[in-house]
Structure 1
Amino acid sequence: MTPAAATWSRPAPRRVRAIRDRLRTMYGRPIAPPHRRPLDELVLTVLSQSTNDRNRDVAYLRLTRALPTWEAVRDAPVSVVEEAIRPGGISKVKSARIQAILRAIGDPLSLDDLASMSVADAQRELCALPGVGRKTAACVLCFAFGMHDVPVDTHVSRVGSRLHLFRPKAGFEEMHDTMLALTPEGQALELHVNLLRHGRRTCHARIPDCASCALRRMCPERRG
């Protein structure tokens, strides 16, 4: 264990609330009522991997136009799915993964029963599907059902690590557990979206814009 990891302790709730409030001042309070379409969210999240939002959305639109039901996507030749989602990148991998997930769900092809489960049980159900990890599961639970789960993507991971919300060198599984514990009830979507926005707009991976950062005074990793 590194010295930094040995001295790290989970942030106090008031510090997390202060970060939330500062981000809220910058970016507002995002509102997205649960859409209750978990399969749509699951496929969309798979398509989002290693690409940007625009390419993801183009791939999703092409897929749903070519194959209007998830049963059709599951049963189509993989080459048809691959061609439809090509704009989203690594289409060979994603097409095979999407079909493997849909086949693993079985009949009926539905994830609606997740809504009646606890967060922990729903996480386990989703993560048992081929290639589905905690981030993908959290996207489904948060955006489809409004459940208390926080997706930790590269932006949330980077911003959270610089703010020392996470133990140094923590893996993504641990980051998800920590983020879940830190996030006030009912604010999972807000904290995820605003941390993501901050990572995209200010807290860049290589050269963060610390000089104009709204979180500068509370960031242990600020530069200059």
Structure 2
Amino acid sequence: MSMYTIPDFATLRRVLDRLYVRYTPPRRAEGDDVLGTLVRTILSQQTTRAATDQAFTALLEHANADWHRIAHAPTSIIEDVIRPAGLARQKAQRIQALLSQVHDEFQSYDLEHLHQMAPEKARAYLLKFKGVGPKTAAFTLMAACAMPLFPMDTHIFRIFERLRWLDPTLGDEAAHQQMQALIPPDDRLPAHMALVEHGRTLCRARNPLCEHCPILTDCPTGSSPPD
């Protein structure tokens, strides 16, 4: 018998609700359009939600929410504005390249047509932009277009493995499909954000802080006595 088991709905609901109490993730997207969500998601790479929000707000305020001004500003200025999110030079270059490519293709700064595309086609379209990987593309489409996707990152993989919901020998695609089917559509955005925050702060790869974990009683790994 496998030591990894898909949880029943009551267990899933209990775990998610406890994470929501701890991390208070937004239940819906922040209200950005598709392009704004994509830029915000690029800023969020390898940083916290608070740092992302600070950098994104500063970027919009600096340019009066004008993508043209952001695209054509000196890159060093954009770097300074988004510095709270970390990796400022890399992210500034990627954001400006993205904006230029979108404008060259559509003569406007607009990706709202993705709402009309099938999820896999929309995902493939976003992946053509430098700096947009599978997780960034899937999160953007989930958050901005309410597409039935659930992006998995290393934090979420680690948490699900420690909960023994996910067999680590599964390939990435099989794991994505299994967990995407598990998480109810209305929970996908808040669950993703709460799980990522949990993985960054408590359920860390090294030295996890199990004594502070809100889902410890449901975690066989954390609640087992050390060998």
Q: TM-score, normalised by structure 2?
A: 0.78
Partner of 1:63: 59
The 5 A counterparts of 1:99-138 are 99-105=96-102, 106-107=105-106, 108-138=108-138
Q: Give the corresponding residue for 1:22.
A: 15
Give secondary structure in 2 for the equivalent of 1:85. helix
Residue 78 of structure 1 corresponds to which residue in structure 2?
75
Matched, 1:45 2:41: yes
**Aligned residue identity for 1:33:** R
Name structure 1 gaps, 5 residues minimum: 1-6
Deviations for 1:4-57, whole angstroms, at most 9, x for unmatched residues?
xxx687x44x53652233331553596533425111111111112222233322
- Secondary structure class of the residue paired with 2:12: helix
Query: Which digits, 9 at most, give the CA deviation of each residue in 1:111-170, with x for residues without a partner?
Result: 111112222222112122211112211221222222222232343222122123334255
For residue 89 of structure 2, what is the aligned residue in structure 1?
Answer: 92
Verify the 8 A CA contact 2:155 2:195 in the aligned structure 1.
yes
Matched-pair identity in %: 34
Q: 1:122 to 1:216 in 2, by over 3 A?
A: same
Q: 1:92 to 1:187 in 2, by over 3 A?
A: same
Which residue matches 1:3?
none
Q: Where do residues 147-166 of structure 1 align in structure 2 (5 Å cutoff)?
A: 147-166=147-166
SS in 1 for 2:120: helix
Contact 2:47–2:86 (CA<8 Å) still a contact in 1?
yes
Secondary structure in structure 2 of the residue aligned to 1:32: coil
Task: Return 5+ residue gaps in structure 2 as ranges.
Answer: none
Listed as ranges, the matches of 1:203-214 within 5 Å are 203-211=203-211, 213=213
RMSD between superposed Cα atoms in Å: 2.9
Which deviates the most, 109-118 or 138-147?
Answer: 138-147
| 8 A Cα contact 1:97 1:131, kept in partner | yes
Question: Aligned partner of 2:20: which letter?
Answer: Y
| Residue pair 2:28, 2:189 contacting (<8 A) in 1 also | no
1:134 and 1:176 in contact (8 A); partners too: no
How many residue pairs get matched? 216
**What CA deviation, in whole Å up to 9, does each residue of 1:199-224 have, x standing for no partner?**
35642332334456454454343341
